[in-house]
Structure 1
Amino acid sequence: MTVIDTSPELDLSPPANLRDLGGIAVDGGTVRPGFAIRADDLSLTDPASAQQLVAEGLTTIIDLRSGDEVAVTGRGPFGSLPVTYHHVPLLTSIGHATQAVAGGSMTIDQSQFESLYIRLVEGSAAHIVTALGVLAYSPGTVAFHCAAGQDRTGVLAASLLLALGADPEAIVADYVATGRNSAAVMARTRQVVGPLIARYGLDLDEAAQQAARAEFSPAPMRGMLAHLTESYADPLQPLREAGLTDGLVQRLRERAAG
């Protein structure tokens, strides 16, 4: 697939849901700042913000979006900066996935995303392991993102933190930190996500209004983690069956510890 620079019709802005995983408690200590950052759509980043991230040590981007999303935006300003790019899609279509979560409804309810997260960690385990390999062996800071930096990004962040030995509640706390950014994220990404999910009869405007009325729920991530704990002797088993080795886990822990 050809990866283009951002379409000139798109509005570019600083990421609204970017945060460093540094400081999260894991086995043996805490994640060091500058190891990994999670974000909403980095292809929509304005040039000044992109250059600042590179100046601060960003060397690598893992793009978890589907091919139809990437076809709209490309890499954005990062396409002309010294950043290694990996496209590791966790979904084949954002529209199909959101339609499955919504069921017969015309709107999307974040609190009901548990089944999507379980499907991602089990069905896209090989892609998650690929992303973990990039995190383990890339120099400098690695950023990973989807559209909102919530669902696909949240599942990869949870997988990484599980491999590092984080407590489930620390993983949930990292996940729910997205809640305070939800309105800004929707405003920023609607120009790409809105038209794509509208093809499937879903309304992003109604979803935004619903999100504004409701508290961001920890239930989907807590439910996914409970499922992994209850269904497998090792919650990392789906990833281990897809190629996650003890050596890769050790390398991640060394990188995260600095």
Structure 2
Amino acid sequence: MTTASMDTAAIDITLSAPVNLRDLGGIPIDGGVLREGLAIRTDDLAYVTSDVVDELIDAGLTAIIDLRSPAEVAATGRGPFGERALGYHHLPLIANVADSMAEGAPDLSHEGMGRMYVRMVETAAPQLVTALNVIAYTPGATAFHCAAGRDRTGVLAAMLLLVLGAHDDDIVADYTRTGENMVAIMQRTAPVMGAMWRALGFEPDARQASTKLLEGSMEVSMRSLLGTLRERHGDALAPLRAAGLSDDTIARLSERARS
């Protein structure tokens, strides 16, 4: 069973502010520090309040990259942002959430998430390249999100920071900051995630499995992604280069990141 059968009528969503939103500004990159106002990573923007929309747009947000699956987008739409004039780019890093899971049960260990991240980069490289081009050529700030702002969002953030020459330790440090927000994330996304688990054929026990995400060190997942990509491809960005990541885009991102 796939997320295509998600029961949207059973999803009781209350509009709320993101709990895992942060500007990537301040992270050391090649030649300096990433400036604020270029790239914002966040949890789901589909059900934010109108006040949040106004605040982000007033601060310079001009585009959104939505990394959620088609079924997730069909379930909750774009919310208040859909009523505003700004760029919207749907670039799902996982077309079908069920396909990203181990057969029989979701592997939500940190090691399992790392393996999923590698598959994401290798199979969704074209989407990641498009996302990097959006960030490179969109005036103003671009916000990118999935549901929790942790996994798909974390992969895009890692690829952007790699392109900009960030050190692995700084990429990992940004990724693990989400750990401080996991309890709030799980509370905020519970209605949607509950419907998704049921659509995938898992009852509430699957939600208990998600508590693995609160155990141990998140660092394992991101270091696994970076290390495995280098082991397999020599260059962690090789899958993206093969999918069309150009020197011009890299140069444009580097220019915008420091200007």
TM-score (norm 1): 0.91
Deviations 1:164-188 (A, max 9, x none): 0011111111110000001111111
Distance between the aligned counterparts of 1:176 and 1:61, measured in 2?
Answer: 23
Equivalent-residue separation in structure 2 for 1:205 and 1:235 (angstroms): 32
Q: After TM superposition, list the pairs within 5 Å mapping 1:108-257 onto structure 2.
A: 108-202=108-202, 203-212=205-214, 214-257=215-258
Equivalent pair of 1:96/1:200 in contact (CA under 8 Å)? no
2: CA distance between counterparts of 1:95 and 1:40?
20
SS in 2 for 1:113: helix
How far the C-alpha of 1:210 sits from its partner, in A, is 3.9
Whether 1:79 and 2:79 are equivalent positions in the alignment is no
- The structural deviation recorded for 1:115 is 1.1
* Contact preservation (8 Å) 2:108, 2:213: no
Cα pair 2:12 2:191 within 8 Å, conserved: no
**Distance in 1 of aligned mates of 2:190 and 2:173:** 25
Q: In the alignment, which of 69, 73, 79 is matched to residue 70 of structure 1?
A: 73
Q: Secondary structure at the match of 1:176?
A: helix
Calculate the aligned-residue CA RMSD, in Å.
1.9
1:58 positional shift: 0.8
Query: How far did 1:228 drift?
Result: 1.8
Q: Deviations over 1:183-219 (max 9, x none)?
A: 111111121122112222334531354444x134211
The more displaced of 192-201 and 120-129 is 192-201
Q: Distance in 1 between matches of 2:151 and 2:224?
A: 13
TM-score, structure 2 length as denominator?
Answer: 0.90
Q: For 1:36-95, what per-residue CA distance to the aligned partner results, in whole angstroms no more than 9, with x for missing partners?
A: 000010112111111111111111000000000000111111111222111011111123
Number of aligned residues: 249
Measure how far apart 1:111 and its partner are.
4.2
Shift in alpha-carbon separation, 1:153–1:106, aligned structure 2, 3 A: closer
Aligned partners of 1:167, 1:40: CA distance in 2, in Å? 24
Q: d(CA) in 1 for partners of 2:233 and 2:107?
A: 33
Provide closer, same or farther for how the CA distance between residues 23 and 106 of structure 1 changes in structure 2, counting only shifts above 3 A. Answer: closer
> What is the Cα deviation at residue 244 of structure 1?
0.3
Q: 1:111–1:17: structure 2 CA closer, same or farther, 3 Å change rule?
A: farther
- Map of 1:3 onto structure 2: none
Residues in 1 aligned to 2:43 and 2:209: alpha-carbon distance in whole angstroms: 17
The verdict on how the C-alpha distance between 1:204 and 1:108 changes in structure 2, with shifts beyond 3 A counting, is same
1:221-253 CA deviation, whole Å, 9 max, x = no partner?
101101122222322111000000111100011
- Unaligned 5+ residue runs, structure 2? 1-7
Q: 2:37 aligns with which of 34, 58, 83?
A: 34
Structure 1 pair 254–106 and aligned structure 2 pair: CA distance change class (3 A): closer
Residue aligning to 2:3: none
Measured at CA, do residues 147 and 80 of structure 1 come closer, stay the same or move farther in structure 2, by a change above 3 Å?
Answer: same
C-alpha separation between the residues in 2 aligned to 1:106 and 1:243?
A: 32
Matched, 1:91 2:94: yes
